[in-house]
Each structure stands twice: as structure tokens, then as C-alpha cells.
Structure 1
Amino acid sequence: MNTLRWLVRIFLFVVLLGFCLKNTTPVTVNFLFSLQWHAPLIIILLLAVCGGALLGLLATTRVWWRLRGELARLRRSGSSTKNIPLPTEPPRD
């Protein structure tokens, strides 16, 4: 199984490396107020992907902190899952 993971990782690395090498054409990004930035396309794509990942992480931090606080509160209170009643009928769709 570990060998399969490494083979998949190597394959993805080679595919992404080929993608990077094919997208080195310089492009111009136009911002507001006639500002322009000239950079290779792969840099623009990399920044867009990193920005999207950062926005996704920021969107989930509030829920993550709330759940983390709730877990800490439950651990302090010493409650366990044995006291939670099980549902008697399946939920309706």
C-alpha cells in the first residue's frame, strides 16, 4: 500500500511538473486603476490556488474553533458518550 501511495505521488508530481513547464508564457494581469502585473502564467495560477486554499481555511476556522471549545468543555465536565440516548427510529428524509 505504501508503494502505491508513492507511485501516485510521483505520478502527480510529474504531471504537475509538465503542466508548469508548459505554462511559462508571460501574461499580464490587469487590476483596478490601470495597474498591471506581468508574470508567467504558472505563477498566476499558483497564487490563485494558494489564495483559494487560504480563503477556504479561513472560512472553516470559526466552526473549527467552536468544535474545539465544545470538545474541551465536554472533556472538562467528564461526560462520556454512554449517557447519550440512541435514536429509536431512523431520521426521515
Structure 2
Amino acid sequence: MRLLKWILKAAVFFALFAFALNNQQDATVHLLFGHQWRGPMMLIVLTAFLVGVVVGVVGMLPAWWRRGTGQLPAAPRPASPQDTRDTLAPPHGI
């Protein structure tokens, strides 16, 4: 199983490496107010991915903060065996 994981990781790495090698031509990103940024397409794709990761992490920070400070609503108390004795149906129609 460990060998299969390494083979899968290597395949993903080589696929991404081939993608990077095939996208080395310059690309232009047109920003606001007439500004533009020119760079290798792979760098632009990587930058867009990293911006997405940062936005996702920043969006999750409030939920992580609430979970870490214990401000989540209290979980319902599990029923004791005595509470459920009367409500359980007989097994398999017996």
C-alpha cells in the first residue's frame, strides 16, 4: 500500500511538472486602472492558486476561532439506557 501511495504521488508530481514545462510562455494579466502584469503563465497560475488558498483560510478563520474558544453551541446530552428502554422497537419484528 505504501508503494502505491508513492507511485500516485510521483505521478501527480510529474503531471504537474509537465504542466509547468508546457506553460512557460509569457502571459499578461490586465489589472485595474490600465495596469498590467506580464509573467510566465505557470507563475500566474500558481499565484492565482495561492491567492485562492489565502482567501479560503481567511474565510475559515472565524469558524476556527469559535471552535478554539469553545463558543460552539452545546451538544445534546446522549440518552441514558433507562430513557431509551421504552422507545426501542423489538429486534426483527419479534
TM-score by length of 1: 0.75
- Structure 2 residue 60 is matched with structure 1 residue 67: no
CA distance in 2, matches of 1:84, 1:63: 23
Q: Secondary structure at the match of 2:28?
A: strand
Q: CA deviation at 1:85?
A: 2.4
- CA–CA distance in structure 2, aligned partners of residues 47 and 3 of structure 1: 32
**2-side partners of 1:20 and 1:13: how far apart?**
11
- Identify unmatched segments of 5+ residues in structure 1: 75-80
Query: Which protein is bigger by CA-based radius of gyration?
Result: 2
Q: Structure 2 unaligned runs (5+)?
A: 88-94
SS of the equivalent of 2:78 reads coil
Letter in 2 for 1:84: R
Instruction: Show the counterpart of 1:77.
Output: none
Give aligned-pair identity as a percent. 32
Offset from partner CA, 1:18-52 (integer Å, 9 cap, x none):
00000111011111111111101000000000100
- Runs of 4+ aligned residues of structure 1 deviating over 3 Å after TM superposition are none
The structure whose residues are more often helix, as a share, is 1
- Displacement of 1:17 in angstroms is 0.2
TM-score of the pair, normalised by structure 2: 0.74
Q: Of residues 72, 81, 85 in structure 1, which corresponds to 2:78?
A: 85
Aligned-residue RMSD, C-alpha: 2.4
Aligned to 1:20: 20
- Give the corresponding residue for 1:41: 41
